[in-house]
Amino acid sequence: MSLKIWIDGKHLPKEDAKISVYDHGLLYGDGVFEGIRVYHGKIFQWETHARRLFDSAKAIRLKIPYTPDQLKSFTEQTFKLNNFTDCYVRMVVTRGVGYLGLSPAKCATPSVFIITDTIELYPKEMYEKGMAVITASVIRNHPNALSPRIKSLNYLNNILAKIEAVDAGVPEAIMLNQEGNVAECTADNIFIVRDGIVYTPATFDGILEGVTRGVIIKLAGRLGIPLIEKSLQRHDLYVCDEMFLTGSGAEVVPVTKIDGRPIGNAEPGIITHRLIEAFRAFIRES
């Protein structure tokens, strides 16, 4: 059975779900999106995702033509129609169909589509043994050019860093900001552990405030694991005891090598394991 995609009020077969070549989301990357998980038939952290989606839209002066409750209902309809109880959701809002030319004023109605499908970003063995990453030469966009707190369709900055990772034979690349401090990876937030303390870059370091990142910060508090949001340099990554990444698609994945250098004893660390187990338990309880 073909997957059904919700697009502008209709469920269409995957092969028929299309947008216009004049849609400004395609022509100019003018739009916003969310990547969301469904576990056990329930949307994970919906309120947080919805808040970020609407904040992102507001920041680029894009009015979403539905309420958060309506979008939640459309999402539930779609994954149930596709017989999913566990899946990944891609919710996209574009500026809509317009004309050639940058002005969004000629786009009459935003377009919204919701994809529900399976996703596996990294092989299972990476969650058990850890992954290798590199530091990209491509830096994050300057926050005064385009705020990284907006989850927009403009992902070329991240894609260029991802190409460097692929060229290096690793699945992820860490991006630095305009000051040379650690920001985030191409699609994930980053955490390190040093002397029993967890550190992660703060919002002012040029990061997207990841939903899974927020859950991990909360879980660390519950477990009594000290966690500090602060600026980090590449040196901090090279000398840390543990490292892990978080994201809606990736969930929580250990990192055991950076730029060819082993992290700690080159195995996922104790605190990383504790947080992964706590995250899995949090999913079961949600």
pLDDT of the residue at 286: 86
Residue 82, both tokens? 């596709």
Do 136 and 212 lie in a common domain? Answer: yes
| CATH number reported for the structural domain that contains residue 210 in this entry | 3.20.10.10
Alpha helices in 130-253 (DSSP H): 156-168, 211-223, 234-239
Nearest-Å Rg of the Cα atoms of the chain is 19
Do 101 and 200 lie in a common domain? Answer: no
Do 250 and 137 lie in a common domain? Answer: yes
151 is catalytic: yes
What pTM did the predictor assign? Answer: 0.95
Q: Are 114 and 11 in contact (CB under 8 A)?
A: no
**Domain boundary, last residue among 95, 117, 139:** 117
Do 102 and 177 lie in a common domain? Answer: no
**pLDDT tens, 118-128?**
988 899 999 99
Do 206 and 99 lie in a common domain? Answer: no
**Domain boundary, last residue among 63, 84, 117:** 117
Do 275 and 141 lie in a common domain? Answer: yes
| Cross-sheet strand order for the sheet of 10-13 | 10-13, 4-7, 111-117, 87-94, 31-39, 42-43
Do 97 and 203 lie in a common domain? Answer: no
Q: Which of 34, 35, 36, 45 is nearest to 216 (CA)?
A: 45
**pLDDT tens, 122-173?**
999 999 999 999 999 999 999 999 999 999 999 999 999 999 999 999 999 9
**Domain boundary, last residue among 117, 149, 167:** 117
**How far is residue 159's CA from residue 172's CA, in Å, rounded to a whole number?**
11
User: Which range marks the domain in which residue 194 is found?
Assistant: 124-285
Which position among 18, 151, 162, 257 bears the catalytic label?
A: 151
**pLDDT tens, 21-49?**
999 999 999 999 999 999 999 999 999 99
Do 62 and 161 lie in a common domain? Answer: no
Do 274 and 144 lie in a common domain? Answer: yes
| CATH number reported for the structural domain that contains residue 23 in this entry | 3.30.470.10
pLDDT of the residue at 120: 82
Question: Per-residue confidence of the chain (286 residues) as pLDDT tens digits?
Answer: 789 999 999 999 999 999 999 999 999 999 999 999 999 999 999 999 999 999 999 999 999 999 999 999 999 999 999 999 999 999 999 999 999 999 999 999 999 999 999 988 899 999 999 999 999 999 999 999 999 999 999 999 999 999 999 999 999 999 999 999 999 999 999 999 999 999 999 999 999 999 999 999 999 999 999 999 999 999 999 999 999 999 999 999 999 999 999 999 999 999 999 999 999 999 999 8
If one counts the domains in the chain, the total is 2
